[in-house]
Structures are given as C-alpha cells and as structure tokens.
Amino acid sequence: MPKAHDVLFRTLADPTRRALFERLCREGEKTVGSLTARARVSQPAVSKHLGILKQAGLVRDRHEGRQTHYSAQLGALAPLIDWTSQMAGFWESRFDLLEDLLKRMDQ
C-alpha cells in the first residue's frame, strides 16, 4: 500500500505534468487539444501525462463527443497538505516556527 503522498510527490515531480495540472487549476476544464496547443510536447505525451494525473486522482475526465475534457480535482492535494503539516508538527515540538508557516497558509 503506497502512501498517498508518495504518489502525489512522484506525479507532481515532473515539470510538464505539473504545468498541465497548474493550467487546469488556473483556467478550469480544458480539452486535450487545448492543452496540447500550449504545451511544449506532442499530443501523445500530453495524453500520457493526463493519464498519470488521473491515476493519481488529481484530474477528472469527461467525454463529450470526440473530445475529452479534463479538470483538476483539488481535493486530491489533501495528503500533500497533511504530510507537510505533519512534518511541520514534528518540527514544532522542538521549535516555534510553525506560526510563521501557518500564516503563509492562512493568507
């Protein structure tokens, strides 16, 4: 049973893949073609990355005619936030820098 945050880190480590996810976050639902247009890689590459993002639960796909619409599933980021605050928690037991970090998260 691979931990959830493991999959997330591995998935988001790749720049082009993360760029795709970012675009979906910023601009909402997009078709593969639309994503490919402004990506620096070929359409098959985009499709492959979207498949991996989907497996990680970071995106959803919706088929409409012959095009596929992808959208970000922000909830999937939760384990990442959990892991980070857990690390911060361990740290906090020794120092008090946590407040500073929480302020960032709050804003």
- Rule CB under 7 A: say whether 31 interacts with DNA: yes
| Contact (Cβ atoms closer than 8 angstroms) between residue 53 and residue 11 | yes
- Considering the rule CB under 7 A, would residue 77 count as an interface residue with DNA? no
Should residue 41 be labelled a site residue for DNA when binding is judged by CB under 7 A? yes
Could you give the string, one character per residue 28-57, with x where binding to a second copy holds by CB under 8 A and - elsewhere?
Answer: x-----------------------------
SS3 (DSSP) at 49: helix
Q: Are the beta carbons of 31 and 68 closer than 8 angstroms?
A: yes
Partner that binds at residue 25, options a second copy, DNA, none, CB closer than 5 to 8 Å by kind: a second copy
Question: Quick one: tokens of 104?
Answer: 């960032």
